[in-house]
Structure 1
């Protein structure tokens, strides 16, 4: 007897599936071809294409004997599995004191046990936080401050990696009133960064923010501010009619993360010479994680099979390299888009460099941030 997976059949018949299958694959191929061809094409047509984006070698933290920071402190969201757990292991190996932040205390504990199994001297802590909740984010920040004080550590952090993300198949609205995928992938990172910014600025050594984005942002080809595409109601819940456009919402959330990264770079690194905070975007490419857990298992297996055949699928241990490149790059790499490991950077989509668009998104998001904070304080 043949059992038909009607959920998979229904998805294959949807535009969202073909958007993922075609647009996302082409976007990923474009990024890899850029790595391969950009140096050659830039040499042939320097006036047209400009210089090839540079590579940035990793720099290990080397404190002086009188430095108040002997072991840098790094915070990673979504650290219970996948890329977040891989980043935690890599940072611990680099000598960081790593704070794993995630929703599930049990999986965080399991990740810490795995890290300790390979290195008993690793300094790792875990804190529970739901990035899709401003209340949880504010509680997390308060817990970090209290822990720093009780541990007699300098009241600062040196690294924040905004890695938490989801690919939600259905429309869900958070307690803050936002689309869950938008708040988890973008707004939560925006809120957390702004709340943690005083601790980053307070660092006596250069500090770093790494925002994990995705090649899928290239599918967002045009955004018209005047048409309200960045209006507050769209950040609350993108889909109000018909089926949930989860693929477009995911692309849009990663595109917003990129705009946010570039705008924060302009505010902190370009316009404020006194700031010691640098901001990088990191794209790990296609990685075999559990982010597609809400999709039909047969389609998830098919996607991994095709990506593996094209030699585009990576393990978390390999995919994390671009994140680590960004985390350990020199400060002058601020504002760069890391992709492809080996310290390499590439250019993101042309529309992602629209400064006016980024400023509009920032102002809209910051207003929502202030409103959410006030609502929590007044409860």
Structure 2
């Protein structure tokens, strides 16, 4: 009974917190504005944009796609769709068990899918570097062309309590921004060596619209400034991480 009361009080405190109210109000406005822009563009723009699709090819000439955070949600759905488009899909995740389950799921939807799973923690630069080494070795051992056609930085988290990575960064910013930056830089030579035009897709969020005063300094970019706060401003950190990723998108 006491534990139930404690859980109830924690829930009430969470719902009444400034960070939750920020999410409820600012994020709702941000997503509404994003939908308005999409509606306006579709209503008044008559320009049709078409993107080249991969042409079906046989192994070992199949194009290669790397997707982080591919064990659920958008990452899983994208991995399945691209496997049907003829890609060799490299799925990256933290849990070996979830990676194994994901392989089975995609194979259940598409038995002809060509898949490879790698365990890596996107919040850790060391883990990403190890992944890069393993990926290159796998490409050589598989007789595949040593290149990547698509990199999809999809992995992301929303944490309501402070966590610090082994490198000393805030874990949310490390996963949502620093990790994708390191992954992109690491795989850039493989993307540049692609025989066809390669693509980098960074999955961002409408919440970047809630950032009104972006401070570009070491403490903010790394998240260390937020770790010093008396109360962990998780909603603001998430917005900052997605805003930084959005800026990275604009620069590419």
SS at structure 2 position matched to 1:127: strand
What residue in structure 2 maps to residue 262 of structure 1?
250
Deviation at 1:82, TM superposition (A): 1.5
What residue in structure 2 maps to residue 234 of structure 1?
220
- Give runs of aligned pairs for residues 70-219 of structure 1, distance below 5 A: 70-219=61-210
Listed one character per residue, the Cα deviations across residues 294-341 of structure 1 (whole Å, up to 9, x for unaligned) are xxxxxxxxxxxxxxxxxxxxxxxxxxxxxxxxxxxxxxxxxxxxxxxx
Q: Paired residue for 1:8, among 11, 15, 36? A: 11
Listed one character per residue, the Cα deviations across residues 146-189 of structure 1 (whole Å, up to 9, x for unaligned) are 00000011110000000000001111110111110001000000
CA distance in 2, matches of 1:138, 1:208: 20
Alignment check: 8 A CA contact 2:57 2:86 kept: no
Alignment check: 8 A CA contact 1:69 1:204 kept: no
Deviation at 1:69, TM superposition (A): 7.3
What residue in structure 2 maps to residue 253 of structure 1?
241
Unpaired runs of 5+ residues, structure 1, are: 44-51, 224-228, 266-379
Alignment check: 8 A CA contact 1:149 1:155 kept: yes
Cα distance 1:55–1:31, how it changes in 2: closer, same or farther (>3 A)?
farther
Deviation at 1:60, TM superposition (A): 1.8
Alignment check: 8 A CA contact 2:63 2:88 kept: yes
The answer to whether 1:61 aligns with 2:49 is no
CA distance in 1, matches of 2:47, 2:240: 27
Cα distance 1:153–1:38, how it changes in 2: closer, same or farther (>3 A)?
closer
Cα distance 1:39–1:126, how it changes in 2: closer, same or farther (>3 A)?
closer
Deviation at 1:26, TM superposition (A): 0.6
SS at structure 2 position matched to 1:177: coil
What residue in structure 1 maps to residue 26 of structure 2?
23
Cα distance 1:55–1:242, how it changes in 2: closer, same or farther (>3 A)?
farther
SS at structure 2 position matched to 1:101: strand
Deviation at 1:70, TM superposition (A): 3.2
**Normalised TM-score (structure 1):** 0.62
Cα distance 1:122–1:38, how it changes in 2: closer, same or farther (>3 A)?
closer
CA distance in 1, matches of 2:196, 2:156: 29
Deviation at 1:55, TM superposition (A): 4.7
What residue in structure 2 maps to residue 32 of structure 1?
35
Q: Paired residue for 2:231, among 243, 252, 261? A: 243
> CA RMSD for the aligned pairs?
2.1
- Give runs of aligned pairs for residues 332-371 of structure 1, distance below 5 A: none
Deviation at 1:54, TM superposition (A): 5.0
Deviation at 1:235, TM superposition (A): 2.6
Unpaired runs of 5+ residues, structure 2, are: none
Listed one character per residue, the Cα deviations across residues 248-280 of structure 1 (whole Å, up to 9, x for unaligned) are 0000000000111112x2xxxxxxxxxxxxxxx
